[in-house]
Amino acid sequence: MEVRSEMKKEIIATKVGMTQVFDEDGTLTPVTVLQAGPCYVTQIKTVDNDGYSAVQVGFVDAKEKAVSKDKGGHKDVYHRHGANKCIKGICDKAGIPAKKYIRELKLDDADKYEVGSEIKADIFAAGDRVDATAVSKGKGFQGAIRRYGQSRGPMAHGSKFHRHQGSNGTSSTPSRVHKGKGMPGHMGSKRVTVQNLTIVKVDPEKNLILVKGAVPGCRKALITIKETTIVEA
Domain membership of residue 147 as a residue range: 139-165+177-188
151 located within any domain = yes
pLDDT recorded at residue 139: 93
How far apart, in whole angstroms, are the C-alpha atoms of residue 199 and residue 76?
A: 46
- pLDDT of res. 187: 94
Percent of the chain with pLDDT over 90: 36
pLDDT of residue 199: 93
Backbone φ and ψ for 116, nearest 5 degrees, come out as 95, -10
Structural domain includes residue 17: no
pLDDT of residue 223: 93
Spatial separation of the C-alpha atoms in residues 228 and 231, rounded to whole Å = 8
Model pLDDT for residues 65-79, shown as the tens digit of each residue: 777 777 677 777 777
Residue 158 included in any domain: yes
pLDDT at 34: 94
* For residue 154, cis peptide bond before it (omega within 30 degrees of 0): no
Residue 152 is assigned to a structural domain of this protein: yes
Dihedral (Cα; 93, 94, 98, 101), 10-degree rounding: -110
Report, in angstroms and rounded to the nearest whole number, the Rg of the chain calculated over CA atoms. Answer: 24
pLDDT for the residue 93: 85
**Type of residue found at 107:** L
Task: Please check whether residue 112 lies inside any domain of the structure.
Answer: no
Question: Does some domain include residue 183?
Answer: yes
In three-state form (DSSP H/G/I as H, E/B as E, the rest C), the secondary structure along the chain is CEECCCCCCEEEEEEEEEEEEECCCCCEEEEEEEEECCEEEEEEECHHHHCCCEEEEEEEECCECEEEECCCCCEEEECCCCECHHHHHHHHHHCCCCEEEEEEECCCCHHHCCCCCEECHHHCCCCCEEEEEEECCEEEEECHHHHHCCCCCCCCCCCCCCCCCCCCCCCCCCCCCCCCCCCCEEEECCEEEEEEEEEEEEECCCCEEEEECCCCCCCCCEEEEEECCEECC
Task: Give the largest Cα separation in the chain, rounded.
Answer: 72
CA pair distance 40, 42, nearest whole angstrom? 6
- For residue 139, count other CB atoms closer than 10 A to its CB: 12
Total domains present in the chain = 1
Give a yes or no: residue 159 inside a domain: yes
Q: What pLDDT score was predicted for residue 134?
A: 94
Tell me which residues of the chain have a pLDDT lower than 70.
1-7, 71, 232-233
Per the domain annotation, does 22 fall within a domain?
no
- List, for residues 30-67, the tens digit of each pLDDT value: 999 999 878 889 888 888 888 888 889 988 887 777 77
